[in-house]
A and B are shown apart, each in its own frame.
Chain A
Amino acid sequence: MRVAVVKVYLALLLTLVGGPLLLGQKAMAQAPATAASATPADRLAALEKQAADNATAIATAQTSGDNAWMLVSAALVLMMSGPGLALFYGGLVRKKNVLGTMMQTFAMMAVITVLWAFVTYSLAFGDGNAFIGGFHNMFLHGVGLLPDPKYAATIPLQTFMVYQLMFAIITPALITGAFAERMKFSSMLVFMILWALFIYSPMAHMVWGKGGFLNAALGGRIPCLDFAGGTVVHVTSGVSALVTAIYLGKRLGYPKEPMPPHSVVLSFIGACLLWVGWFGFNAGSALSAGTLATSAFIATHFGAAAAAVGWSAAEWLRQGKASALGAISGAVAGLVAITPAAGFVTPMSALWIGLFAGVFCYFMVVKVKAWFSYDDSLDAFGVHGAGGTLGAILTGFFANSTINPIFGAGKPTGLFEGNWHQVLNQAAGVAIAWTISIVGTLIILFLVDKVMGLRVSVDDERDGLDLSQHGEEGYDWAH
């Protein structure tokens, strides 16, 4: 709505003021009767002033259009964490852990925000070397309302900053699915703070930061295409999730005791909120409200839909039924896989990526997890790690220069356009994300484990996180 208003305003402005400008010669030729007293120099000065005013007005109009979309997008991405992810994960655990699980995501919304203002924004997006930013923007020093043209020329830098913050929040929150139902709240907080500092910040800097090693838009050594965070968000969180699940060990009684989701209804609502929020995540990553945002929006939606179809079909064939949990898990897998590709691929390619992701993640969650018998409780790795890796690689195949000429107009972008090298670049980005996630997470887990212990006690685990960690219960049956 707002964008439409801005467009009408722009069109009016152009016809009223720009029109006569374009026809300047003619208008001047007819003008002498009214402006007989003005010298040509005066008239020229007046026109120049008018042209400058027009340029300012147009820039202001574009800023309000872009800024409107980016603020909405930032809010949408926050909605993905709470309530989206919190409900999605909350429904999948047993009811004695529902609040503990939701609280882990909510804690990220609070703690990571404070940390972002203090230091992590600076480490991720401040000036630095190829691998990490510096400390110049600590406490948001120098992060004002003027745009930084290197990141986004038409929105205030603070909008960019708060938009990126929402990504920094949801990324660690995704990991919580792997260690659900058994990690101490205190240790979880310390782990996540260290993870944001030493894994998320460098990874975000490498892919999106000025001079980052993998940054395709700002002259990185290896230009890895990652539109909205396939490597930065999903590979890092998914792989760290796997490491955490293995390091912490299985839940008490797993896999003998039954641990079915206590409310697929909650998960269903959460997944649908994730789907909608993802429009902010991917289309917002255009950092403007132009055609690229539309392209990413469409790819996102088509990827999610095709993956829901893919997962459900695989499940139907193997188990004879298409479940609600399967359908929503498939949609999330598709959203994950399309994240790096949105903004680079056509709608038809998005359908293919989604379909592959749906089937692949189904296989990872249902078969591979059972083969290796790790307890990735809510399948953070099976969906985000596997889907993110697949999506990042497939981006190298499907990226299309007509959608996004990131290497220059007409230059081939992905393998299907003839740039086979891009698949290697994507693989390099994925390899770096895997390496930093495995090594970094292991070190952080080891340190936190030695200092304060990671797991709750056996009694606390039996009682559930709600009672043992927070002293309350999600559902009160007694009153």
Chain B
Amino acid sequence: MQKIEAVIQPSKLDSVKDALVEIGVDGMTILEARGHGRQKGHTEVYRGREYSVDLLPKVKLEVVVTDEMLDRAVNAIIGAARTGTIGDGKIFISKIDEAIRIRNDERGEIAL
């Protein structure tokens, strides 16, 4: 099992979600986040005082998939979230040791 954490533009959430559902990903978790990579932020001015806002609103998506599903899922996210401009986000992948369905104690891939 693999966990995909993708930080994406908030405006791309719907198309990413649709793309994942289309290839058969059942569950996902969405977090509203703030952050920046190389993109950095912008400046805001209130009554002459400048504030640099370097943490921008992002959406973080967490999906755990089976090993064979991984590549398709990653490609789906990339395909749906890319605009080609700076600030499109990042994807991190890590191994998951165990998954447990709380309702009936199912374990492993069946719990996904």
Q: Which stretch from B15-23, B39-47, B76-84, B87-95 is at the chain A interface?
A: B39-47
B49 CB contacts on chain A under 8 angstroms: 255, 260
Cβ 8 A contact of A379, one of B44, B45, B47, B51: B47
A window 255-289: CB within 8 A of B = 255, 258, 260-261, 264
The size class of the interface chain B forms with chain A is under 10
Least CB distance from B45 to A in Å reads 6
Q: Report whether A321 and B47 are in contact in the complex, using a CB–CB cutoff of 8 Å.
A: no
Contact B48 A370 (CB under 8 A): yes
CB of A424 within 8 Å of the partner chain: no
Q: Mark B9-29, 1 if CB is under 8 A from A, else 0.
A: 000000000000000000000
A258 to B49, CA, bound (A): 9
A-B contact pairs, 6 of them (CB 8 A): A260-B44, A325-B46, A329-B47, A365-B47, A366-B48, A379-B47
Establish whether residues B48 and A261, one from each chain, have CB atoms under 8 Å apart when the complex forms.
Answer: no
Q: How large is the interface on A (under 10, 10 to 19, 20 to 34, 35 or more residues)?
A: 10 to 19
Chain A residue nearest in CB terms to B44: A260
Cβ of A381 to closest chain B Cβ, rounded Å: 13
Closest B residue by C-beta to A323: B45
Q: Give B47 Cβ to nearest chain A Cβ, in Å.
A: 5
Q: Chain B contacts of A367 at CB under 8 A?
A: 48
Q: Is A209 an interface residue (CB 8 A)?
A: no
Q: How far is it, in angstroms, between the C-alpha of A326 and the C-alpha of B51 when the chains are bound?
A: 15
Q: How far is the CA of A254 from the CA of B111 in the complex (A)?
A: 52
CB distance A325 to B47 under 8 Å?
A: yes
CB distance from A260 to the nearest CB of B (A): 5
CA distance in complex: A260, B51 (Å): 7
Min Cβ gap A359→B in Å is: 13
Q: Which of A258, A260, A264, A365 contacts B48 (CB 8 A)?
A: A365
Could you give, for residues 136-156 of chain A, a 1 whenever the CB lies within 8 Å of some chain B CB and a 0 otherwise? 000000000000000000000
Instruction: Return the CB mask of A363-380 against B: 1 if under 8 Å, else 0.
Output: 001110010000000010
Q: Across the interface, name the chain B residue whose C-beta is closest to A367.
A: B48
Task: Quote the shortest CB–CB distance from A440 to chain B (angstroms).
Answer: 28
**Cα distance A329–B48 when bound, in Å?**
12
Q: How far is the CB of A460 from chain B (nearest CB, A)?
A: 24
Q: Could you tell me if B47 and A366 are in contact, using CB atoms closer than 8 angstroms? A: yes
Residues from chain A with a CB closer than 8 A to the CB of B46 are: 260-261, 264, 323, 325
Chain A residues whose C-beta falls within 8 Å of the C-beta of B44 in the assembled complex:
260
Task: Output the residue of A255, A260, A379 with the most chain B CB within 10 A.
Answer: A260
Which residues of chain B are within 8 angstroms of A264 by Cβ–Cβ distance? 46
Q: Which residue of B lies closest to A258 (CB)?
A: B51
Q: How distant is B53 from chain A, measured CB to nearest CB, in Å?
A: 8
Partner of B45, one of A255, A321, A365: A321
In angstroms, how far is the closest chain B Cβ from the Cβ of A107?
A: 26
Task: List the A side residues contacting B45 at CB < 8 Å.
Answer: 319, 321, 323
Instruction: Give the residue among B44, B45, B47, B49 with the most A Cβ atoms within 10 A.
Output: B47
Alpha-carbon gap, A258 to B45, bound state (A): 11
- In addition to A325-B46, A365-B47, A365-B48, 11 A-B residue pairs with Cβ atoms within 8 Å of each other are A258-B51, A260-B44, A260-B51, A319-B45, A321-B45, A323-B45, A323-B46, A366-B47, A366-B48, A367-B48, A379-B47
Q: Within 8 Å CB of A370, what residues of B?
A: 48
**Which residue on chain B has the smallest CB distance to residue A261?**
B46
Report the minimum CB–CB distance from B85 to chain A (whole Å).
22
Give residues of chain A (160-175) contacting chain B, Cβ–Cβ below 8 Å. Answer: none
Query: Which residues of A301-357 are within 8 A (CB) of B?
Result: 319, 321, 323, 325-326, 329
B51 proximity list for chain A (CB < 8 A): 258, 260
Closest to B52 in A: A258
Q: Name which residue of chain B comes closest to A321, CB basis.
A: B45
Which A-B residue pairs are the 8 nearest by beta carbons? A366-B48, A258-B51, A260-B51, A260-B46, A365-B47, A319-B45, A325-B46, A261-B46
Residues of B contacting A365 in the complex (Cβ-Cβ under 8 angstroms): 47-48
Q: What B residues does A329 contact at CB under 8 A?
A: 47
CA distance A264 to B44 in the complex (A): 12
With both chains docked as a complex, state the minimum distance between the C-beta of B73 and any C-beta of chain A, in angstroms.
31
Which residues 232-261 of A sit at the B interface, judged by CB distance below 8 A?
255, 258, 260-261
Cα distance A130–B44 in the bound complex, in angstroms: 50
B110 vs chain A, min Cβ distance (A):
33
Q: How far is the CA of A260 from the CA of B47 in the complex (A)?
A: 10
Cβ-closest chain B residue relative to A311: B47
With a cutoff of 8 Å between Cβ atoms, the chain A residues found around residue B48 in the complex are: 319, 365-367, 370
Chain B residue, CB-CB nearest to A92 = B46
A143 to chain B, nearest CB (A): 42
Tell me the minimal C-beta distance from A374 to chain B in angstroms: 14
Collect the chain B residues with CB atoms within 8 Å of residue A319's CB.
45, 48
Complexed CA–CA distance, A321 and B46 (Å): 11
Count chain A CB atoms within 10 A of each CB in B44, B46, B51 and give the residue with the most. B46
Assembly CA distance A140 to B91 (angstroms): 72
CA distance A19 to B80 in the complex (A): 84
Closest chain B CB from A180 CB (angstroms): 13
Interface string of B53-96 (1 = CB under 8 A from A): 00000000000000000000000000000000000000000000
Chain B hits for A323, CB < 8 A: 45-46
